[in-house]
A and B are shown apart, each in its own frame.
Chain A
Amino acid sequence: METRARSSLFLYAVWMVAFVIAPIVLVVYYSMLDLNGHFTLANYANFFSWAYLKMTLTSFWYAFLITAFTLLFAYPTAYLLTKTKHKQLWLMLIIIPSWINLLLKTYAFIGIFGLYGPINAFLEVFGFEPKQILFTDFSFIFVAVYIFIPFMILPIFNALDKMDKTLVYAARDLGASGWTTFRRVVFPLTIDGVKSGIQVTFIPALSLFMITRLIAGNKVITLGTAIEQQFLVAQNWGMGSTIAVFLILIMVVSMLFTGNKTRGGRAL
């Protein structure tokens, strides 16, 4: 038994050291280097400067809005899905769009929100002047919610599906209103699903950079955009790593918060 364990763990252990531990160590190490490779804490000082703090706060604000709207639309959808007759089939239909390449879906919105796109054509029917919807906060948040919603629906659906239905009947029999039943029974029982849904939305939302570039047109700078900017444009790996360290810390906090019951980010 023991020898089998050791030999089958070998490759996995190599993977873990090389691609989990080493990258984290390297990011922390690089965050303490300046452009010339000398040891410095200037990156951290820089990170706590007003310009970066403001960017971090805006990034958090956007991530919060994206997560809140995603939850707001995902929960009722998941709830209603569990009530449909062929719920597994409907769930699969919800999941399929999430399998289409992310870039293609984002690209679609460049056309849809464009000056001559269908949304503006539709608004024109009601006498509104066409205007640029692309490159606004609205378009950014809409597209992000669109991208994340299947990943929020899935864990909530699973939680709702596993819930003991008789508890709802019991609550109703004892005189609870529909809303009270939801607030005091259904929601607390599905909180784990909500938590994993938030986890797979909030951190990715903080680190978006492709959608900000294509849809928000560089107007919205998230932490992810800043990392990409520092690494690939400014070539300042030290500063980029400092922001990455901050994101890793947030991730650790969120892992503790959700009690390590992660069910896999994009998992179907």
Chain B
Amino acid sequence: MSKLTMTARIYLAVVFVILYAPIFYLIFYSFNSGGTMYTFESFTMEHYAAVFEDTRLIVILINTVLVALLSGLISTIIGTLGAIGIVSLKNQKLRSTILSLNNVLIVSPDVVIGASFLILFTIIGVKLGFASVLVSHIAFSVPIVVLMVLPKLLEMNSSLIDAAHDLGATKRDVLTRVILPYIQPGIFAGFFLALTYSLDDFAVTFFVTGNGFSTLSVEIYSMARAGISLTVNAISGLVFLVTVLVVIGYYMILRRSDKDAKTEVRA
């Protein structure tokens, strides 16, 4: 392992500082009693208190988490079953067509997804609000779950399934006791990614959310358009805390499953 030169160290340090500076800048001023992001007057927790006292904001937070968990769960189920189905397809041409279509929503710009879903919901007659946001989040999370689960399924030795069948396992047993335990790390990775996609999404939600229903991203957008409000800073302090906890949790699970399988979940 070659040693890094001084210039290289400084370059990396600058990149890290720039990446983290805006986040810590926000959190620093969330404790400012001055009400601006320019002059720090004195330490206060009032902006955090304001977040918890604002019932509207709390409802939005709950909505955001609820949408993330539900869409993560449902898209993981659809995506995992889909991946199992794709792997068992014998027709190579059909399989690669399906995989290309699978990637469409991943490479599509958010704005296009949002706009086309808006048309879709309007035509079907779905009222814009919780349902439309939840369905959209499920829709754009499914392909990423498929991409996370697929490599696990492909590396699985098919003789395991044959062996289970020979030993008298039913189809259901094969699925729940052979396939699912084996691809579990992929399923977890897919679920976590779906969660983060949902929590981070702004553009798609912005299109398909009606009046009356809002997620955190959309709410921050309207607050930011109105100008600086240190409540947003307090929210970012909380979001940062939760994010770091989730990242640590994610890596712990990944690590454990890595040790189990002795393989990497992701390239």
Contacts and interface: CB of A to CB of B under 8 A. Distances in A.
A70 interface: no
Contact of B109 (A11, A210, A214, A247): A247
Given A8-B84, A96-B243, A111-B25, A203 B109 contact: yes
Question: Which size bracket describes the interface of B in this complex?
Answer: 35 or more
Helix, strand, loop or mixed for chain A's interface? helix
B78 A12 contact: yes
B202 A100 contact: no
B82 A94 contact: no
Which of B107, B220, B232 gathers most chain A CB within 10 Å? B107
Nearest to A2: B88
Interface string B109-133: 1111101111110010000000000
A97 B20 contact: yes
Interface string A1-16: 1111110110110011
B224 interface: yes
A170 interface: no
Interface in A211-240: 213-214, 224, 227-228, 231-232, 237, 240
Nearest to B103: A262
Contact of A99 (B79, B175, B196): B196
Contacts of B106: 262, 264-265
B217 A244 contact: no
Contacts of B197: 266
Interface string B126-143: 000000000000111010
B112 A146 contact: no
A76 B12 CA distance: 9
B15 A267 contact: no
A101 B200 contact: yes
Interface in A21-40: 21-24, 26-27, 30
Contact of A111 (B8, B37, B100, B202): B37
A99 B200 contact: yes
Contacts of B110: 204, 207, 224
Interface string B219-253: 01100110010001001100110011011000100
Contacts of A262: 103, 106-107
Given A104-B220, A267-B144, A20 B89 contact: no
A241 interface: yes
B29 to A, nearest CB: 7
Interface in A99-130: 99-112, 114, 116-118, 121
B267 interface: yes
A15 B98 CA distance: 12
A260 B100 contact: yes
Interface residues of A, number: 91
B109 A207 contact: yes
B4 A84 contact: yes
Contacts of A267: 144, 147, 193, 266
A162 B78 CA distance: 32
Interface stretch (A41-49, A50-58, A183-191, A248-256): A248-256
B36 to A, nearest CB: 8
A148 B143 CA distance: 21
A200 B147 CA distance: 16
B22 A244 contact: no
A162 B112 CA distance: 34
A76 B267 CA distance: 20
Interface of A: 1-6, 8-9, 11-12, 15-16, 18-24, 26-27, 30, 73, 76-77, 80-81, 83-85, 90, 92-94, 96-97, 99-112, 114, 116-118, 121, 146, 149-150, 158, 162, 199, 203-204, 206-207, 209-210, 213-214, 224, 227-228, 231-232, 237, 240-241, 244, 247-248, 251, 254-255, 260, 262-268
Interface of B: 1-2, 4, 8, 11-12, 15-16, 18-23, 25-26, 29, 36-38, 77-79, 81-82, 84-86, 88-89, 98-113, 115-120, 123, 138-140, 142, 144, 146-147, 171, 175, 193, 196-197, 199-200, 202-203, 206-207, 216-217, 220-221, 224-225, 228, 232, 235-236, 239-240, 243-244, 246-247, 251, 266-267
30 contacts: A4-B175, A12-B79, A15-B142, A16-B101, A19-B142, A20-B104, A77-B12, A83-B1, A84-B4, A92-B247, A93-B16, A94-B19, A97-B20, A101-B200, A101-B239, A102-B200, A102-B202, A104-B26, A107-B236, A110-B228, A111-B25, A111-B38, A121-B38, A204-B109, A231-B207, A232-B206, A241-B119, A247-B112, A251-B107, A262-B103
Q: Nearest 4 CB-CB pairs, A to B? A: A12-B82, A9-B85, A207-B109, A23-B116
